[in-house]
């Protein structure tokens, strides 16, 4: 009789770790079960951007300043997802009110004449496709598409020495649409059924565009790139 009781006790003791493992596995499966990511959504974001501007000017001038700028900004986004099993396919558009304003100075090879170019970008926008894989409440995705921004540029010509340069002897402005591509990726986490948090990285590359300061006879072309890190709050419908 005692042997039977001891055998029952040993069996019960051995089963406890197995039961604990089974319970933990059940909890993990429950927390990572498939979620429905399909449907429309809108959101807002804040970001940090680093921009580089590469401008070509007539050969009589040479660059003397690095046209790099960094800053923070805000924007909005809207999109739609379709889900196929654990795969999520989507399309998204976004608009960022930009504070990217690169300044460049170019010196003439002979004499003291210089040109100074200041460019304001009104906004930065993109239309992108997305492809992701869901892990329950987490969605990992890659994204890419077309990007554009509008630039308003001002050219000041001076004939004085640095660092004051003297008063401008001529002023001209020009504008252009900069077109290019964007690619990146990110992670989303669903904190509530209709609320999603997002962290995202995007790289923008813009083709060379003509900024024609025809009144001064100084045509310039400019290309650029932007790297952005974003945090967003999204509402799903």
pLDDT tens digit sequence for 64-103:
555 667 778 899 999 999 999 999 999 999 999 876 676 7
Residues in the chain: 237
Residue 63 confidence (pLDDT): 59
Q: Hunting for tokens 């959101």 — which residue is that?
A: 43
**Domain 37-236, CATH:** 2.40.160.20
pTM: 0.76
Cβ density class 137-168: b for 16+ within 10 Å, e for less = bebebebbeebbbebebbbbbbeeeeeebeee
d(CA 91, CA 128): 6
pLDDT tens digit sequence for 135-174:
999 999 999 999 998 888 888 888 887 777 888 888 888 8
pLDDT at position 194 over 60: yes
State mean pLDDT over 40-62. Answer: 84
Q: Where are the beta strands (DSSP E) in 98-137?
A: 103-108, 114-135
pLDDT at position 196 over 70: yes
d(CA 107, CA 10): 89
- The count of other CB atoms within 10 Å of the CB of residue 14 is 9
Residue 65 confidence (pLDDT): 52
Using alpha carbons only, how large is the chain's radius of gyration in Å? 28
State mean pLDDT over 185-196. Answer: 97
Start-end of H helices in the chain? 2-31
């Amino acid at each position: 009789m005692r042997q039977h009781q001891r055998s029952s006790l040993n069996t019960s003791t051995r089963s406890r770790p197995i039961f604990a493992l089974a319970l933990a596995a059940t909890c993990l499966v429950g927390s990572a079960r498939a979620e429905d990511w399909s449907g429309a959504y809108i959101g807002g974001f804040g970001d940090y951007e680093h921009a580089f501007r590469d401008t070509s000017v007539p050969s009589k001038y040479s660059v003397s300043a690095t046209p790099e700028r960094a800053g923070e900004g805000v924007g909005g986004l809207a999109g739609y997802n379709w889900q196929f099993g654990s795969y999520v396919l989507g399309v998204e558009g976004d608009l960022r009110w930009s504070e990217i304003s690169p300044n460049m100075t170019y010196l003439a090879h002979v004499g003291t004449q210089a040109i100074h170019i200041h460019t304001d970008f009104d906004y930065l926008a993109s239309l992108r496709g997305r492809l992701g894989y869901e892990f329950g409440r987490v969605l990992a995705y890659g994204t890419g598409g077309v990007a554009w921004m509008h630039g308003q540029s001002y050219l000041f010509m001076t004939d004085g020495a640095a660092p004051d340069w003297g008063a401008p002897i001529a002023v001209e402005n020009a504008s252009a649409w900069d077109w290019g591509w964007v690619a990146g990726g990110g992670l989303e986490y669903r904190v509530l059924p209709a609320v999603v948090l997002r962290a995202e990285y995007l790289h923008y590359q813009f083709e060379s565009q003509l900024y024609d300061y025809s009144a001064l006879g100084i045509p310039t072309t400019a290309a650029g790139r932007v790297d952005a890190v974003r945090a967003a709050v999204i509402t799903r419908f």
